[in-house]
Amino acid sequence: MSKRGAPPEVNAGSMADIAFLLLIFFLVTTTIETDAGLDRMLPPIEPPEQDVIIKQKNIFQVNINREGQLLVDEELVNITDLRAKAIAFLDNGGAPSGSDDFCNYCKGARDASSSDSPSKAIISLKNDRETKYSTYITVQNELVGAYNELRNREAQRLYKTNFTDMEAEYLNPETPSDVKDELKEKVKRIQDLFPMKLSEAETASASIN
């Protein structure tokens, strides 16, 4: 009988090669990305029960035509000025002091012919079927930006922080729930100060040129 020594060692020299091979495969196929974008809510399909009468001065009408030009309240406007215009409209607070709608935190021009208060102000967005999607997104971005800017201002005044940061933290799944509850209230309060009322009418089939 031959004497058996220790079992022969398995040669592990090629293990690194195999691991490298797998590593490279996963490196190549990996996409570490979280998608991000503009969150919007669509209006429900049921028509509202009764027609609400909205004063013309409380509507900020934005039309985008097929060339990507903007018509804001019957006036041709450059897209770069849209945000400032929207802020001026939302922050106007035209209702006289003492009335129900009086907005004590507005810092706008208080022009009686523009919106009464942020909660009354509505932005209406209309686009043509031929409008390019990129233009539409830019307009959406500017309008959401206008709201965010105003909300940030109020959040800075009340809580010394930015609304967008608070909201991001609130939506982050890793935030502990007690922090979340506290944030929820704050976020809600700011949202109520400047509620996002962005209505989108059905797309016009005939273009307005």
Partner 1 sequence: MSKFNKKKDAAVPAVNTASLPDIVFMLLFFFMTVTVMKDSTLKVENTLPNATEIKKLEKKDRVIYIYVGKPTREYEKVYGTESKIQLNDKFADASEVGDYILMERAKKPQELQNVLTTSLKVDKDANMGIISDIKQELRKVNALKVNYTTYEGDAFRNLQ
Q: Which is nearer to partner 1, 113 or 209 (CB)?
A: 209
* Options 69, 71, 77, 79; binder of partner 1; rule CB under 8 A: 79
Contacting partner 1 within 81-120 (CB under 8 A) = none
CB-side neighbour CA atoms (13 Å) of 52: 9
Could you tell me which of 135, 14, 8 has the C-alpha nearest to residue 65?
A: 135
Collapsing DSSP to helix, strand or coil, 126 comes out as: strand
52-74 burial by CB neighbour count: b if 16+ within 10 A, else e?
eeeeebbbbbbbbbeebbbebee
188 binds partner 1 (CB under 8 A): no
How is the beta sheet containing 70-72 ordered, strand by strand? 75-77, 70-72, 59-64, 122-127, 198-200
Q: Which is nearer to partner 1, 1 or 21 (CB)?
A: 21
Q: Give the type of residue at 6.
A: A
Contacting partner 1 within 127-156 (CB under 8 A) = 127-138, 140-142, 144-145, 148
16-45 footprint of partner 1 as x/- string (CB under 8 A)? x--xx-xx--xx-xxxxxxxxxxxxxxxxx
47-76 footprint of partner 1 as x/- string (CB under 8 A)? ---------------------x--------
Q: Does residue 105 contact residue 193 with C-beta atoms inside 8 Å?
A: yes
Q: Which is nearer to partner 1, 16 or 109 (CB)?
A: 16
Size of the site for partner 1 (CB under 8 A): 56
Cα–Cα distance for residue pair 86/141, rounded to 1 Å: 12
1-20 footprint of partner 1 as x/- string (CB under 8 A)? -----------x--xx--xx
Which 8-state DSSP code applies to residue 208?
-
Residues at the interface with partner 1 (CB under 8 A): 12, 15-16, 19-20, 22-23, 26-27, 29-45, 68, 79-80, 127-138, 140-142, 144-145, 148, 164, 167-168, 171-173, 200, 202-203
